[in-house]
Amino acid sequence: MLDHNELTALAGVMVCTLACGLFLLRFKQPAVIGYILAGIILGPSGFGLIQNRENVSELAELGVLLLLFLIGMELSLRDFARVWRVAMLTMLLQISVSLGVVFVLGRLLDWPLAAILLVGFAMSLSSTAVAVKTLEETGELKTNAGRIAVGVLIAQDLAVVPMLLIVGSLAGSGVEASTFVKIAFAIGFLAIFIKFLSGRRRLHLPFAQLIGARHDLTPLSALGYCFAAAAISGLLGLSPAYGAFLAGLFIGNSNERAAMHSATLPIQSLLLMVFFLSVGLLIDLEFIWANLGLVATLLIFVTVLKTAMNVSILHALGEPWQNSFLAGVVMAQIGEFSFVLGATAFGANLISPDGYRLLVAVIALSLIVSPFWLHIARLLHGMAYRNIPTLGELLEELYGLEAEVIAEGSDRIARLAYRIGRASRIILKKRGETQPPPERAAPRPDTGEAADTAMTAAENPAAGGIADNTPPRRTRRRRKPLGTTATPT
């Protein structure tokens, strides 16, 4: 049992975590980033109010279970059926490309196979919580690009189960045949289960009438369904997260979905806050500072690679550049389930403590810098319905004005340098002519006036001596809707 001081510290931690989340929400950023920052501030790298992460790790794992449970409950099979082909192909290509890139990098750095698989799996996943928040902030959640992004995120969440099975099996002598049997069974059963739910009307949950008569039993029964399915899945040798997702799918297609969802959401939000708080506690600022170059290089490499990979894959599958770029940007960060993969590998002694700290640092910083990509998504929202046929025109529309400002500044510097050089030549020429040759006859009055006038015009820019020979100024264009033609002047 916690004593008085521990309860006081726990209450202070929860208040501080909530305050950090609200602070980020005030600036229209995902609250999960505030929870991570709270973990950094309160953890061993900050003020040290939380020294033992084990006190919150179990609650954090429950938060992951409830996250998958809620994702399954919110999944609309009708909407997912519209984009499932693109979503599944995108997910498979993301995993393949990530594993291919990491395999080449791992061979150069002499990484073991377990580390290559772990990093490749972790890099292919995106954050469902951050991406959905980004789509909500930009108003793109219900658009075609939003549906595609959510479909890909759901497909990635489904792929977490086989990834966990593969990473867990590497702790022994390697990937055994039983592992592939479990993966095939999990995928096949999920496909049959989704087909079963799609072809029927709304189902009734067991004990629905008894639960409906007691409102206090609604959240407890929802948690009971979730944990019961997770326990059965774990006993069968599958991941508990897989069972939680199936339970969410079942409840999401029942008549009691609305009541169960509203009753479970506050609990899930609390445990998810604890999960991201525990992630912040894992971040070692001293390790990041000592390996700042490596961490920054990996962060930039992963972010740019994921963005380019997502955009290219979606466009190759037939999506226009607008939808591909928007969906690719919001999925550019590394997902929260990558932490789960890393923890599983670290618990199985597949990676060293320094490797685990490096993995956590890159994943957490990828989530923290996601507001930068949110800014790009907001720019894209303003061009959502414009006709942009090529990637070059899209980039020009995004950054055209900024490039012109830089170019205009460069023109001003060039004109100033030209004037300084011209004035210097005139001054040197004037000094050379202060001692006229004695044999030269004095100029006539009218000729002197003409020379003085010419010299005045050369020295005075207002008179046109220098300004007439300077390069013409660039005029900054105004951003206009694409598809319109310029009016002739």
Q: CA distances (Å), 9 to each of 4, 134, 272, in order?
A: 9, 33, 20
407 and 381 within one domain: no
407 and 332 within one domain: no
- The distance of Cα 134 from the centroid of its chain, to the nearest Å, equals 9
Q: Contact at 8 Å (CB) between 205 and 211?
A: yes
Question: What's the pLDDT tens digit per position in 192-205?
Answer: 888 887 766 777 77
234 and 165 within one domain: yes
324 and 195 within one domain: yes
Residue 110 neighbours by CB under 8 Å, 6+ apart: none
Boundaries of domain holding 423 = 403-429+457-472
| pLDDT given for residue 172 in this prediction | 60
Question: What's the pLDDT tens digit per position in 454-473?
Answer: 444 444 444 444 444 445 55
Tokens 């292919």 label which residue? 124
- Is 415 within the bounds of a domain? yes
Which whole number is the average pLDDT over 385-398? 57
Least confidently predicted of 64-68, 297-301, 331-335: 64-68
Which whole number is the average pLDDT over 247-275? 81
Amino acid of residue 45 = S
Mean pLDDT of the chain: 75
Collapse the DSSP code of 471 into the 3-class scheme (helix H, G, I; strand E, B; otherwise coil) and give the result.
Answer: coil
Terminal Cα distance for the chain, rounded = 81
Does residue 28 come out as left (phi exceeding 0), alpha (psi in the -120 to 50 range) or beta? left
Lookup: tokens for 32: 């999960």
Which whole number is the average pLDDT over 32-50? 82
**How many domains are contained in the chain?**
2
- Is 451 within the bounds of a domain? no
- Is 63 within the bounds of a domain? yes
Residue 377 neighbours by CB under 8 Å, 6+ apart: 134, 135, 137, 138, 140, 326, 329, 330
Find the CATH number of the domain harbouring 99: 1.20.1530.20
Between 302 and 398, where is the model more confident?
302
466 and 333 within one domain: no
Lookup: tokens for 249: 């799918």
374 and 411 within one domain: no
Q: Is the per-residue pLDDT at 97 higher than 90?
A: yes
Which whole number is the average pLDDT over 2-7? 66
Which whole number is the average pLDDT over 263-292? 83
Quick one: what percent of the chain has pLDDT higher than 90? 5
